Structure 1
């Protein structure tokens, strides 16, 4: 059996966590054998069998779709993601920046400076 199916994908971007949706066409190909034609001495669980004249496509379609999914779905190929410090979405604010972190050894002096500023 050879065919293709169209699936709708819904998820979130791996970098910025924005919701994304897409449609994809997935092709599949599988060989089916009749149950009575199967060699009983061979125990091959990988061979798909027909049940009467019916074909169970669910496992075949599931495997084809899962293998075709992107490992890390992205909203755009060049998605900048989130700021590692505050979590802001960098696409919305491309000039996003933070002040340089204060060395913890000098944090006490920064507190004294703030206290002096508050007293004036």
Structure 2
């Protein structure tokens, strides 16, 4: 058995479009490698800082991800290696195991699919794109239903109404 407590740099960006671990970010490994009859069993936790973007307002969010890792790596010529497909189980190659793919897979499952800066985030204004959390109270835009748009040209403007009032006086 061997225990590993180490911090390594992320080799590439890991994650989904709105959330992930940036390339070069510190990834903390707290792992235990045990020799079992069919291979090496790797268990422990992995944690790293994340960079996320709110799915509603696109504000940057700093966070952390931590997850448990349990992975079996088959010894060469073992029954496990002989009875499994190449992509089903990892393999011990030259007395080493490659943890990159299991970590990438686990990060993808641990990160939120639609991260939010707050649970009640209002998002962006659909007309002007301003972040509604930063907009003035009552922010809105006057919209005219396209079915009635031609009638607005027939409506008197405020200037026309004031001229009519002056003509009566």
TM range (shorter): 0.7 to 0.9
CA distance in structure 2 between the aligned counterparts of 1:3 and 1:88, rounded to whole angstroms: 44
CA distance in structure 1 between the aligned counterparts of 2:43 and 2:151, rounded to whole angstroms: 69
Query: Does 2:51 match 1:51?
Result: no
Unaligned runs of at least 5 residues, structure 1: none
Partner of 2:133: 91
Where does 1:61-76 land on structure 2 (aligned, <5 Å)?
61-76=103-118
Partner of 2:44: 3
CA distance in structure 2 between the aligned counterparts of 1:73 and 1:98, rounded to whole angstroms: 28
Taking structure 1 as the reference length, what is the TM-score of the superposition? 0.81
Taking structure 2 as the reference length, what is the TM-score of the superposition? 0.60
Partner of 1:113: 157
Q: Which moved more, 1:90-99 or 1:5-14?
A: 90-99
Higher relative contact order (CA 8 A, sep 6+): 1
Distance 1:24 1:41, change over 3 A: closer
Distance 1:88 1:75, change over 3 A: same
Structure with bigger helix share is 1
Unaligned runs of at least 5 residues, structure 2: 1-41
Detail structure 1 runs of 4+ shifted over 3 Å in the superposition. 38-43, 114-117
Structure with bigger strand share is 2
